[in-house]
A and B are shown apart, each in its own frame.
Chain A
Amino acid sequence: MSISQTSAIAPGRAKAALGALRKVAASFAVILTTLLGLLVITFVVGRMVPADPVIAVIGDQADHETYERVYKEMGLDQPLYVQFATYLGNVAHLDFGQSHVTKNAVSSDLARVFPATLELATLATLIGAGFGIPLGIISAVRKGTWVDHLARIVGLLGHSTPIFWLGTIVILVFYAKFGLIPGSGRLDVYNEGLVDGPTHSILVDAVLAGEWEVFGDALLHVAAPALILGYAAMAYLSRMSRSFMLEQLRQEYVLTAKAKGLGQRAIVWRHAFRNIRVQLLTIVALAYCGLLDGTVLIETVFAWPGLGQYLTSALFFADMNAVLGSVLLIGIISIAINLLSDLTYRFLDPRTR
């Protein structure tokens, strides 16, 4: 009996394992194809940018011989497909090439600039979600009241105010006029060089090194740009949360719960909120992705040496290795966040298991 049971289960398990393996392989194939597509598009578009990478390196007054020498040195004399194939070959060996502008390996540049953006985007997302979601929910629950109107106005302002303008005004008022916030950059000059690595996130590195003064300074520097970005994220998240919650509050189960005499708090948080968690997770993940690759304006205003500035500068000087490396990183991060949110769905919503 037991033997027959075992033999019946084993092929079933093997089949399930094979199926899971197939799913994983298919997922990897999709990811690799996406990344390859991203690189192909970036490479082609990058080559169409009307900026000459050789001139960017040697200056516009250099003679023809120097131009030709550097042109070959940069491998631009090779056909495009050869250049791309060479790049792909190097990427397969985790070599992302050298930036023509910074002269560093692109991987080491990214290891330096990405943590700066990650720090900013993570704080902004925490602020955005921390305030936006409760605000949206309260707004939905108190629909039509002054709380709702106020929340909607705050949200609308966040949507319609250009980040660049807001950043400039904040600097003008809170830095230049009242001296309440520090100037641009990640640290004051006094604290520069006191903390170096290993994560390149100054907040984390300062904690690891026990440099609490540096930590405080870094926190003060990141506060203004993070709050501005967080405000924009909050505006988006609160509007979406409101709309998700309103939809839930119209459902029949809510009526039933009310009829059963359940309190509003229990209905909202124990029932309705549970049902919008997956949607909320999706929009928070999207907002986070958007912040990771879209903070360039605020990075420029606050002289924040992050990925956005790096990518913009690379595009301006047709620094293809840096552009491709940055795009690849953004692609990988976006995919990773989406995968992570997909996995989290499985815990939040049994139907997706």
Chain B
Amino acid sequence: MKRRSFLMASAIMASTLAVPVAVQAATPDDQLVIATNMSSMRGLDPNELNQLEAAEIVANLYERLIIVSADDITKPQPGIAESWTVSDDGKTFTFKIRSGVTFHSGNPLTANDVEWSLRRLVKLGLAPSVDLRQWGITDKNVDELIKATDDTTVVLQMPEVWNPNLILFSLASFSTSILDSKLLAENEKNGDMGREFLQTNDAGSGPYSLKTWRVNDLLISDAFKDYWQGTPKMRRVILRHMPESSGQRLQLEAGDVDVATRLSSTDLAAIEMGGKAEIQKTPGFGFYYLALNQKDEILSNPRVREAFRYLIDYDGLANTVMKYYGIKQQTIIPGGLPGALNETPYKLDIEKAKQLLAEAGYPNGFSKVYYATPVTPEYEVAQSLQANAAKAGIKLDLQGGDHIGKFRNREFEIFSARTGERLPDPHAVLASYATNPNNTDDAKLAGLIAWRSAWEVPKNIQDMVTAAAHETDQQKRADLYAKINKAYLEASPALVTSFQRTDAKAVRKEVTGYVGHSTWLTRWDTVSKGD
């Protein structure tokens, strides 16, 4: 009897669990559900994070002085600053702060909040603080350089003259978001300027406010009814952590999510075939690159460097593994920016590579250790290069794993990965790829990948990069960048660029207004469904 009851109970439980129920699909019309991978998100403090997924959230919880819209990233537009002027000497920026803007807390947004927020970014000195520090603003001079002169005016003094767009673009970055200084003062702990509070709360004035945030699980944000540009159409935006690409795809196809952001090329292709969603390829300001350590005698030979450019199967990769992840690009200024060139003079040519190796004195090739990030598509690109190099006599010992530390310390032979800058200006990429003011190990300029590669960038290129950053005439500047681009291509650089990165997302067809942003600031308040 007891056994029968036991078996019966088991059967009932199983049937309860396995009962086939028609499961509701399709997200509500007034809610946007985004599938994403939250594994690498580090809190939600705009002055601390440095990561694409978190930047998109911050872009919608907070606002900035300047807006760079997705459809024209080259033009700074008024955001919280309704207008601005630049002094004749190019050093003083005066911003008029929009009145009537309130934070989610109900506190009014004033010039004092702007002053406090920008100073906080510099004083904390964390990774995104480079957005202001690169222009000479330091924790020592920031109180003098950034000042609110009254409730609606903020003045920024630059230590030297820079192209005004560089400053304005920096003020459009997620890192320069305006924080509710009053709320953060109330929630300060041990002088942390609200750091602990901001990890899991928001102090913004953006179109959405944070409702729920469970790390590696779920984020819910609700439309801010008092948003100064009007209440957004989507009442709620939900981000779900889905680490598996195939899981994201299935849920997108079933209508349980509206946008899938981390998909493998196989799943992207399947979604494209399925016809329920569109694939957005947003160009980013960075490259898939190959770094050849110039401290190595063989790799520092210009002909060897040139040979590597003929060992990459640009076309083959572009049609397969890189179809969704990159756009073929062999020059150093990303497409869409001033000075960009549409030249792709290199193609896979094993014989040419062999000839260059012979001229360099290595007719029988050589062996090198090759570090590559073991993720798609970097590793597949590396495997392709390894196979082609073998045909030219170069034996590459391909090693996956986390070797970024060795790369930063110049302890490698060959390394490949990808970069991504956030400033919609050629300077951001060039500062890293084409300047290296001190090539000694002690300089520790680990923020520059030219230094990491120990590459003595030709002086004329470095001088032009510096001059262009300070040039205030936009046309002269664009001409200068075109020159830099050509000079870089001809220099047989130690950093071989093959593809400009693109970030691919799948968006269901009934969703409109969700537009991938090159500087990671995709907006949700422009989204609507079924219109």
Bound Cα distance from A57 to B6, whole angstroms: 52
- A317 surroundings in chain B (CB, below 8 A): 39-40
* Cβ of A121 under 8 Å from chain B: no
Number of interface residues of B (CB under 8 A): 71
Binding site of B, secondary structure by majority: helix, strand, loop or mixed? mixed
User: Contact partner of B9 among A60, A130, A175, A176, CB < 8 A?
Assistant: A130
Residue pair B404, A131 in contact (C-beta under 8 Å): no
- Answer yes or no: B90 CB below 8 A from chain A CBs: no
> A300 and B244 in contact (CB under 8 A), knowing A63-B446, A126-B13, A183-B250?
yes
Contact A51 B447 (CB under 8 A): no
The answer for the CA separation of A57 and B417 in the assembled complex, in Å, is 18
B382 close to A (CB within 8 Å): no
Q: Mark B228-260, 1 if CB is under 8 A from A, else 0.
A: 000000000010111110110011011010000
B51 contacts the other chain (Cβ, under 8 Å)? yes
| B447:A305 contact, CB within 8 angstroms | no
With an 8 A cutoff between CB atoms, is A146 at the interface? no
B215: Cβ under 8 A from any A Cβ: yes
Min CB distance, A248 to chain B, in Å? 16
B10:A134 contact, CB within 8 angstroms: yes
* B405 contact from A52, A104, A179, A182, Cβ within 8 A: A52
Interface mask (B27-47 → A, CB under 8 Å = 1, otherwise 0): 110010100000110110100
**Contact status B125-A301, CB under 8 Å:** no
Q: Are B27 and A189 in contact (CB under 8 A)?
A: yes
Complex Cα distance, B21 from A223, in Å, reads 12
Q: Say which one of B166-174, B180-188, B216-224, B483-491 lies at the interface with A.
A: B216-224
Q: How far is the CA of A113 from the CA of B218 in the complex (A)?
A: 12
Rounded to whole angstroms, the CA-CA distance of A193 and B217 in the bound complex is 12
A219 touches B (CB below 8 Å): yes
Q: How distant is B231 from chain A, measured CB to nearest CB, in Å?
A: 19
The reply to whether B419 and A185 form a contact with Cβ atoms under 8 Å apart is: no
Which residues 189-247 in A have Cβ within 8 Å of B in the complex? 189-190, 192-193, 196, 219-220, 222-223, 226-227
Question: CB of A281 within 8 A of chain B?
Answer: no
A188 interfacial by beta-carbon distance below 8 Å = yes
Residue A16 interfacial (CB < 8 Å): no
Q: Is the CB of A66 within 8 A of B405?
A: no
Q: Which residues of B sit under 8 angstroms from A60, Cβ to Cβ?
A: 404, 407-408, 417
Stretch at the interface among A35-43, A255-263, A308-316, A339-347: A308-316
Residues from chain A with a CB closer than 8 A to the CB of B273 are none
- Tell me which of A100, A176, A192, A269 contacts B250 (CB under 8 A): A176
B127 near A: Cβ within 8 Å?
yes
A52 touches B251 (CB 8 A): no
CB proximity to B under 8 Å, residues A44-92? 50-52, 55-67, 69-70
With known contacts A175-B250, A182-B23, A303-B247, A189–B33 Cβ distance under 8 A: yes
**Would you call A33 an interface residue if the criterion is a C-beta within 8 Å of the partner chain's C-beta atoms?**
no
Residues of A within 8 A of B256 (CB): 183, 188-189
Q: Is B199 an interface residue (CB 8 A)?
A: yes
Q: Is A119 an interface residue (CB 8 A)?
A: no
B402 on interface, CB distance cutoff 8 Å = yes
Q: A109-B215, A127-B14 are in contact. Are A62 and B130 (CB under 8 A)?
A: yes
Expressed in whole angstroms, the Cα–Cα distance for A61 and B13 within the complex equals: 53
Q: Is the CB of A219 within 8 A of B17?
A: yes
Tell me the complex Cα distance, A212–B243, Å.
29
Contact indicator A66/B126 (Cβ below 8 Å):
yes
Q: Most B CB atoms within 10 A — which of A56, A61, A63, A305?
A: A61
Cβ of B39 to closest chain A Cβ, rounded Å = 5
Q: How large is the interface on A (under 10, 10 to 19, 20 to 34, 35 or more residues)?
A: 35 or more
Q: Is B444 an interface residue (CB 8 A)?
A: yes
Q: Mark B118-153, 1 if CB is under 8 A from A, else 0.
A: 000000011101100000000000000000000000
Interface pair B246/A168, CB less than 8 Å apart: yes
Rounded to whole Å, the gap between the CB of B122 and the closest CB of chain A is: 12
Max count, chain A CB within 10 A of own CB: residue among B14, B238, B401, B420: B14
Q: Is the CB of A180 within 8 A of B447?
A: no
What A residues does B407 contact at CB under 8 A?
60
Which residues B417-474 have CB closer than 8 A to chain A? 417, 419-420, 432, 444-447
User: Which residue in B33, B130, B251 is a CB contact (below 8 Å) of A66?
Assistant: B130
Contact in complex: A179, B254 (CB < 8 Å): yes
A287 at the interface (CB under 8 A from B): no
Q: A175-B250, A303-B241 are in contact. Are A226 and B447 (CB under 8 A)?
A: no
Q: Give chain A residues whose Cβ lies under 8 Å from the Cβ of B250.
A: 171-172, 175-176, 183
Instruction: Check if B243 sits within 8 Å of A309, measured CB to CB.
Output: yes
Write the nearest CB–CB distance from A116 to chain B, whole angstroms.
8
Query: How far is it, in angstroms, between the C-alpha of A127 and the C-alpha of B126 when the chains are bound?
Result: 49
Check if A353 is an interface residue, CB within 8 A of chain B.
no
The one of B40, B214, B408 that contacts A112, using a Cβ cutoff of 8 Å: B214
| CB of A184 closer than 8 Å to a CB of B | yes
A102 within 8 A of B: yes
Q: Nearest Cβ in chain A — how far from B32, in angstroms? A: 10
Question: B2 — nearest CB in chain A belongs to which residue?
Answer: A269
A305 & B253 in contact (Cβ 8 Å cutoff): no
* Shortest distance from the beta carbon of B405 to any chain A beta carbon, whole Å: 5
A103 at the interface (CB under 8 A from B): yes
Find out whether the CB atom of B21 lies under 8 angstroms from the CB atom of A300.
Answer: no
Q: Which of B20, B33, B214 has the most chain A CB atoms inside 10 A of its CB?
A: B214
The residue in chain B whose Cβ has the minimal distance to the Cβ of A67 is B446
Q: Of B22, B220, B408, which is within 8 A of A192 by CB?
A: B220
Whether B199 contacts A103 by the Cβ 8 Å rule is yes
The minimal Cβ–Cβ distance linking B324 to chain A, given in whole angstroms, is 21
Q: A64-B445, A301-B247 are in contact. Are A55 and B217 (CB under 8 A)?
A: no
Q: Given A176-B250, A227-B17, does the pair A103, B200 have CB atoms closer than 8 Å?
A: yes
Query: Can you name the residue of chain B whose Cβ is closest to the Cβ of A112?
Result: B214
Q: Is the CB of B22 within 8 A of A313?
A: no
Contacts of A62 in B (CB 8 A): 50, 127, 130, 446-447
Cβ of A101 under 8 Å from chain B:
yes
Q: How far is the CA of A181 from the CA of B20 in the complex (A)?
A: 7
Known A-B contacts A103-B199, A180-B23, A301-B247; A61 and B432 likewise in contact (beta carbons under 8 Å): yes
Which B39-96 residues have a C-beta within 8 angstroms of A?
39-40, 42-43, 45, 50-51
Q: In the complex, which residue of chain A has the Cβ closest to the Cβ of B247?
A: A184
Contact B23 A303 (CB under 8 A): no
Query: Which residues from A are CB-within-8-Å of B45?
Result: 103
Q: Which residue of B lies closest to A60 (CB)?
A: B404
Question: A103-124: which residues lie under 8 A (CB-CB) from chain B?
Answer: 103-104, 109, 112-113, 123
Tell me the complex Cα distance, A102–B14, Å: 36
Known: A192-B218, A300-B243. A176 touches B31 (CB 8 A): no
Which of B43, B51, B242 makes the CB contact (< 8 A) with A59? Answer: B51
Chain B residue numbers with a CB within 8 Å of A310 are: 216
- When distances are taken between beta carbons in the complex, the residues of chain B under 8 Å from A50 are 401-402
A103 and B201 alpha carbons, distance in the complex (Å): 12
> Contacts A109-B215, A175-B250 hold; do A51 and B402 have CB atoms under 8 A apart?
yes
The yes or no answer to B24 lying at the interface (CB within 8 A) is yes
Alpha-carbon distance A157/B242, docked complex (angstroms): 28
Q: Does B212 contact A (CB under 8 A)?
A: yes
Contact (A180, B3) CB under 8 Å given A189-B33, A313-B39: no
Interface pairs (7), CB distance under 8 Å: A59-B50, A64-B445, A65-B125, A69-B125, A104-B215, A109-B215, A301-B244
For the A-B complex with A184-B242, A220-B23 known, give 10 more contacts whose Cβ atoms are closer than 8 Å: A52-B405, A61-B50, A64-B444, A103-B199, A112-B214, A134-B6, A183-B256, A223-B18, A309-B243, A317-B39
List the 9 shortest-distance A-B pairs measured between CB atoms, nearest first. Answer: A63-B447, A305-B217, A103-B199, A103-B43, A130-B10, A102-B215, A223-B17, A59-B50, A58-B127
